[in-house]
């Protein structure tokens, strides 16, 4: 079964978002420490809404 072009785009977009969130989270924890890193700043930096 093959994916439609729309599904492939959404899948790729989701993958790219996960990568950006992971990188931003690692950067926040490296810069501010585990305790001080917060999800709001990570989401804001990536441009993803919470929820």
Segment 3-51, tens digit of pLDDT: 566 666 668 888 999 999 999 999 999 999 999 999 999 999 999 999 8
Neighbours of 33 (CB within 10 A): 9
pLDDT at 35: 94
| Whole-prediction pTM | 0.74
Rounded CA separation 17/35 (Å): 23
Residues 6+ apart with CB under 8 A from 24: 42, 45, 46
């Amino acid at each position: 079964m093959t994916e439609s072009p729309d599904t492939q785009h959404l899948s790729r977009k989701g993958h790219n978002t996960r990568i950006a969130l992971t990188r931003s989270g690692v950067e926040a924890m490296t810069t501010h420490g585990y305790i001080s890193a917060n999800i709001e700043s990570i989401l804001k930096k990536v441009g993803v809404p919470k929820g």
